[in-house]
Structure 1
């Protein structure tokens, strides 16, 4: 069921990007979330975000984290192309190369992972170990954020938020497995509570990062760190790649590096992300100015 999962994940990423774009357009000239929620355009964006979340959960149910999570970078491609269309701007060569790198890198990684990985259960012990590691990383990032200023502070907080969201995807897969296997149980309620807490912590870190630096820094960190953390948990703790060899690992890292390079290039090109703050609603549905 890996290939249907890839299609669902890409479609979900497109829904995330479109929903974020609609919400950003609806809220650009209003001061608070309470004023925005009555706009049909904003509600339409919310519906697309919910559809994207449902598609992403379905993909996680059908395929390993290592396959599904990196495909979220396609949301960046859709957002950039949509932004260029909305501004009637021409695609610059540097931006085109960056988009190509993202598509080729992420697509190749997904194809490679589809042949090497197998779905693995997410036992409670793995959830706890992963949670402790991510919590340690978030604590370090939060501490660094308290000591640093400006863009360095933004970078530290965004890395913490990206790590939290990567762990959230692990919990979502665990919740889907628990519900499918045993229905509503104490373990499922515990996992759902952990999901809510992870989303809250990630949202707060991301909003603080947006307040301390250019949005493209936060967007790039979320796009890169989120899948890296999820893949590391999938391969390192869940054993989703039992047939991994040094050659295939090197090929996977090369594909991932190509996609990451494309994202970083987009983040550094302010013209490509002149409306990149729209992606903040993908990271947290709440309007950032209301926080």
Structure 2
């Protein structure tokens, strides 16, 4: 791999670590006040005075910036799966916070995630290609993303518990995946010196969707544990980004059938690890729960 690709991988990994930690800190702050409820605008404004939430938001912003920076040097299909590693960071940090330790099942789930993401990234780095996208196609992508957000938002609003958590977290992942594709298109237009290809409309749409994603993710945090939030977010994120990258951007046009099947297997391995991870976590001890509640209210 070239030096720029190595730089992209380092940026993406660092971004995943910060996003994972930021999700944990935000979850602690949100569930301290809004556990199981829809987060109102007033509650969101109140969170702006919560140091733990602000620290988590800062980590997410920096992590996202590093992730988007990585897309300037490598294809979407290479960079996007690395974000899945954020769930491993969230799980380990959450276990340390709860003083609950990690079970054998948790370690196996984490291994599946790392091996699946590593295998997928390696294959994608060797085979990904990029083609130009028309303005009409970019608009179509934005419309599809908007429709997905409406559906997931409706499910999250009428659902409860884990259904609400998964729907809203997946909505945040849809926005993040869409933004990643737009950033990649913008980087390609600048790299190739084609200002006419710059996705101005899509970029504006991605920027306007960020507040929606923030609201979605806070709703998810209020309804579920941090590892489940990150699991749903990071699973929806690469599905959207890689799906667009392969089907619309043509990044998989020249990928051999065997390589494509291998990539699918690797992604499924990572997906199984993500879905099993929340089920294998040990429950925190009673003392750890009491300490966590004290920390949540002291940060308010």
Greater Cα shift, 62-71 or 219-228:
219-228
**1:1-291 alignment runs, 5 A limit:** 1-21=4-24, 32-36=46-50, 39=51, 45-145=56-156, 148-178=159-189, 190-212=201-223, 216-271=227-282
Aligned Cα root-mean-square deviation (Å): 3.5
Q: CA deviation at 1:258?
A: 0.6
**8 Å CA contact retained: 2:119, 2:266:** yes
Distance 2:95 2:220 in 1: 25
**8 Å CA contact retained: 2:30, 2:218:** no
DSSP-derived class of the 1:263 partner: helix
Distance 1:82 1:159 in 2: 22
DSSP-derived class of the 1:97 partner: helix
CA shift digits 1:24-46 (9 cap, x unpaired): 6678878832422xx4x766555
Distance 2:29 2:167 in 1: 30
Distance 2:133 2:149 in 1: 21
**8 Å CA contact retained: 1:267, 1:273:** no
CA shift digits 1:245-287 (9 cap, x unpaired): 3211111111000111111111233538999xxxxxxxxxxxx
Distance 1:58 1:20, change over 3 A: same
Distance 1:94 1:18, change over 3 A: same
Give me the TM-score of the superposition, normalised by structure 1: 0.78
Distance 2:98 2:126 in 1: 40
Q: CA deviation at 1:219?
A: 2.9
DSSP-derived class of the 2:153 partner: helix
Gaps of 5+ in 1: 276-289
Distance 1:187 1:90, change over 3 A: closer
Distance 1:241 1:5 in 2: 19
Q: CA deviation at 1:163?
A: 1.9
CA shift digits 1:70-105 (9 cap, x unpaired): 100111111222223334443210000001000000
DSSP-derived class of the 1:271 partner: coil
Distance 1:169 1:197 in 2: 14
**8 Å CA contact retained: 1:154, 1:210:** yes
Distance 1:272 1:119 in 2: 45
Distance 2:112 2:17 in 1: 18
